[in-house]
Amino acid sequence: MFEELLPELRVDLSCGGFDPARLFRFPVDDIWLEVGFGGGEHLAAQALAHPTIGMLGCEPFVNGIGRLLGEISRADIRNIRIHPDDARDLIDRLPDASVGRVFVLFADPWPKRRHWRRRFIGPDSLAGLARIMKDGAELRLASDRATLVRWMLRHLGDHGDFEWTARGPADWRVRPGDWPPSRYEEKALSRGETCTYLTFRRRPRPHGGGRGTMRPHCGSPL
| pLDDT tens, position by position, 68-123 | 999 999 999 999 999 999 999 999 999 999 999 999 999 888 667 777 788 999 99
Backbone angles phi, psi at 144, to 5 degrees: -105, 10
Q: Is residue 65 part of a domain?
A: yes
| Residue 89 structural domain | 2-208
Helix (H, G, I), strand (E, B) or coil at 30: strand
From 30, 76, 96, 108, active-site residue = 108
Over range 55-60, report the average pLDDT. Answer: 97
pLDDT one-digit tens code per residue, 164-218: 999 999 999 999 999 999 888 998 999 999 999 999 999 999 875 544 444 444 4
Q: Is residue 219 part of a domain?
A: no
Specify the CATH number for the domain of residue 149: 3.40.50.150
Which one, of 141, 139, 142, 147, lies nearest residue 109 by Cα? 147
| Structure confidence at residue 115 (pLDDT) | 72
Radius of gyration of the chain from Cα atoms?
17
| Structure confidence at residue 208 (pLDDT) | 56
108 is catalytic: yes
Q: Is residue 217 part of a domain?
A: no
Q: Is residue 215 part of a domain?
A: no
Q: Is residue 221 part of a domain?
A: no
Backbone angles phi, psi at 10, to 5 degrees: -70, 135
- State how far the Cα of 57 lies from the Cα of 137, in Å rounded to an integer: 17
pTM above 0.85, yes or no: yes
Q: Is residue 63 part of a domain?
A: yes
Q: Is residue 73 part of a domain?
A: yes
Helix (H, G, I), strand (E, B) or coil at 134: strand
Please say if the pLDDT value at position 57 is more than 50.
Answer: yes
Q: Concatenated DSSP letters for 42-109? A: HHHHHHHH-TTEEEEEE---HHHHHHHHHHHHHHT--SEEEE-S-HHHHHHHSPTT-EEEEEEES---
Over range 3-26, report the average pLDDT. Answer: 89
* Pairing of β 162-164 and β 196-202: antiparallel
Q: Is residue 214 part of a domain?
A: no
- State how far the Cα of 59 lies from the Cα of 65, in Å rounded to an integer: 7
- Average confidence score pLDDT of the chain: 90
Please say if the pLDDT value at position 222 is more than 80.
Answer: no
Please say if the pLDDT value at position 46 is more than 90.
Answer: yes
Domains: count for the chain: 1
Helix (H, G, I), strand (E, B) or coil at 142: strand
Over range 3-28, report the average pLDDT. Answer: 90
